[in-house]
Chains A and B, each alone.
Chain A
Amino acid sequence: DAMVIQNPRYQVTQFGKPVTLSCSQTLNHNVMYWYQQKSSQAPKLLFHYYDKDFNNEADTPDNFQSRRPNTSFCFLDIRSPGLGDAAMYLCATRIDRRGQPQHFGDGTRLSIL
């Protein structure tokens, strides 16, 4: 029944080794978002796709990138993860119509060794 699916739930990578997190949706929503949530903090928006248009937040680090090959899938690529990138990464989707909420996946918890 899960409508926004994030894989894997837990990801471990080495310092400096590129890592990709994935998000898929069955809702056919045109907007997809990636949030980063560090320990004991609130989620913070990294970027979003409005259809195929990529929109980066001003303070998102340069080593974070994203791809959206089609409506259903969106990827978060971290080119050279540092220890400070250890966090929960949350994907969300929304249909761009008045009065519609964002729907979140269960998140991927990323650890850096």
Chain B
Amino acid sequence: GIQVEQSPPDLILQEGANSTLRCNFSDSVNNLQWFHQNPWGQLINLFYIPSGTKQNGRLSATTVATERYSLLYISSSQTTDSGVYFCAVHTGTASKLTFGTGTRLQVTL
């Protein structure tokens, strides 16, 4: 099956810093989603981005489908950004999701 790798696995930032998270996938995909999982386990959809660039406030994402990667940018990080960030790729006729390995982000004061 398709492999989805994320880097870095862990990231510690001071409040106000910027960061880039990367997602590499091993095969063609129908689509890609970025999620933030908060400390209570809720999975929050950040972006649905098969290709191109999207922005939402301090967050933006870019997917280059032909090169099989996606990037999530977090600017001016806040403590509430802490949690685990997953990318997940849609494959097959039912658009099943295969999740990446995740990046655990901790933002400190």
Contact = CB atoms under 8 A, between A and B. Distances in A.
Contact of B43 (A50, A90, A96): A90
Interface of A is mostly: strand
A42 B94 contact: no
Interface of B: 31, 33, 35, 40-43, 45, 48, 50, 86, 88, 90, 94-102
A48 interface: yes
B41 A107 contact: yes
Contact of B94 (A48, A90, A104, A107): A48
Contact of A99 (B35, B50, B97, B102): B50
Interface of A: 31, 33, 35, 37, 42-45, 48, 50, 55, 88, 90, 92, 94, 96, 99-104, 106-107, 109
Contact of A103 (B45, B88, B102): B45
Contacts of B45: 101-104
A42 B101 contact: yes
Contacts of B94: 31, 48, 50, 55, 96
